[in-house]
Amino acid sequence: MTTSDWGRVDTDGTVYVKTGDGERAVGQVPDVTADEALSFYTKRYDALALEVDLLHKRVSSALLSPEEATAAIKTVREQVTDANAVGDLAALAARLDELGPVIATQRETRKAEKAQRSTESREAKERLAAEAEKIAGGRDWRGGANRLRELLEQWKQLPRLERAVDDALWKRFSSARSAYTKARKAHFAEQDAKRADAQVVKERLATEAEKIADSTDWGPTAGRYRELMRQWKAAGPAPKGIDDQLWARFRGAQDTFFGARDAANSALDEEFAANATVKEQLLVEAEKLVPVTDLAAAKAAFRDLADRWDAAGKVPRDRIKELEGRMRAVEQAIRKVEDDKWKRTDPEKSARADDMVAKLEAAIAEAEAKLDKARAAGDAKRVRELEDNLEGRRSFLEMAKRASADFS
């Protein structure tokens, strides 16, 4: 009989393994020696021990979920319990028992991690729902749509929550997206309607602009074009491609009219150039009247010059302001001299000045008579009052006489 620390081979070739309850037969290996038979079952144990060791490392390293680890341990434990192998099977069972607390700890850790992920996911979904609602309440029709698509992708990456909570948050998020999409569609539908209305208006304006493009009634037609442009701007944009086409028509008609007007004005300017030369000569004569020394002569000369000025006719547009300004300056200088003279000789003002002088002289004569009486009576206080009064009135009289002299 061959024996070892953990088993033996009986004389009949049966191999036994030692257990806590004694021993049990694990099998026979025919046509081999006892040592070879024992070695065969010992190697089975070694293989089983290696499997237990690998499982121990995988569970300790948390490579398996607690559920997967529990199932694997159960399977290996069954193999160890009924193993047809020779070795310390109790030690292998003990190694498996060591994994129970490890799995329990891992289960608690995973539970806490899951709760943390759930909290983070809920907070993230609440933020996404809140942002979606904010976008839905705004009017950023392009940026908002892009941002909502980004938020949806972020939502898809987040873990699901408890059904009731997840459904409630999704309802908020989805409702916001739906409200935004509905408002966006309504906005662009309204814009399309406005563009369609603008197209009708601008087609009418372009047509009218083309009808009057050949007009030679320069002033009224230019004014009409200004009004058409005001209406064009007020109409708003038409559909993009059509808007460009209508503007090309409208602008082309304007260019035709104003080009013709400018050409006509240029021709007139050439024709009026000789008139400008005549008016420059008249200005030389007119500016010699200033400064005015003889008002009557200056007025007569200016009237003659003004008649000749009108008879000279129109001048080029770019000379009007300059020439008219110089002529107006001479006219204003003569008028100022005339106004100053009128102010000095105004009969009404002269009469008022003379009346003031007469009244002051009468008042002074009366005050002097009172002063003589006060002196004769020896009333010193009254004398001082009358003397002060007379001094003031005599000053006013001097000013009144100077004013009267100005009108004489």
Which pLDDT belongs to residue 234? 93
- Average pLDDT score, the chain: 87
Rounded CA separation 193/312 (Å): 59
CA 378, 380, 386: angle at the middle one, nearest 5? 110
Rounded percentage of the chain residues whose pLDDT exceeds 90: 39
Q: In the predicted model, is pLDDT for residue 405 greater than 90? A: no
Q: Is 361 exposed, middle or buried (0-12, 13-18, 19+ CB in 10 A)?
A: middle
Question: What tokens appear for 312 in the block?
Answer: 């000279």
Average pLDDT over residues 305-312: 87
Which pLDDT belongs to residue 53? 95
In which element (H, E) is residue 7 found?
Answer: strand 7-9
Enumerate residues 6+ apart whose C-beta is below 8 A from 271.
Answer: none
Q: In the predicted model, is pLDDT for residue 315 greater than 60? A: yes
**Residue 136 in contact with residue 176, Cβ under 8 Å?**
yes
Q: pLDDT tens digits for 161-196?
A: 889 989 998 999 899 999 999 999 998 898 889 899
Q: pLDDT tens digits for 48-70?
A: 999 999 999 999 998 889 999 99
Three-class SS state of 402:
helix
Q: In the predicted model, is pLDDT for residue 1 greater than 60? A: no
In which element (H, E) is residue 50 found?
Answer: helix 34-60
Rounded percentage of the chain residues whose pLDDT exceeds 70: 96
CB atoms within 10 A of CB 310: 8
Q: pLDDT tens digits for 247-287?
A: 999 899 999 989 998 888 787 777 788 888 888 888 888 88
Which pLDDT belongs to residue 330? 87
Q: In the predicted model, is pLDDT for residue 85 greater than 90? A: yes
Kindly indicate the confidence band of residue 406, based on its pLDDT and cuts at 50, 70 and 90: low
Three-class SS state of 236:
coil
Average pLDDT over residues 1-11: 82
Average pLDDT over residues 300-309: 88
Which pLDDT belongs to residue 75? 94
Which pLDDT belongs to residue 404? 65
Q: In the predicted model, is pLDDT for residue 382 greater than 80? A: no
Question: What tokens appear for 215 in the block?
Answer: 């007009």
CB atoms within 10 A of CB 232: 19
Handedness of CA 235, 237, 238, 241 (dihedral sign): positive
- Given the structure tokens 């008879």, which residue do they identify? 311
Which pLDDT belongs to residue 350? 65
- Given the structure tokens 């003379």, which residue do they identify? 354
Average pLDDT over residues 363-367: 80
Amino acid at 370: K
Which pLDDT belongs to residue 103? 92
**Residue 258 in contact with residue 212, Cβ under 8 Å?**
no
Q: In the predicted model, is pLDDT for residue 29 greater than 80? A: yes
**Residue 123 in contact with residue 81, Cβ under 8 Å?**
no
Enumerate residues 6+ apart whose C-beta is below 8 A from 350.
Answer: 404, 407, 408
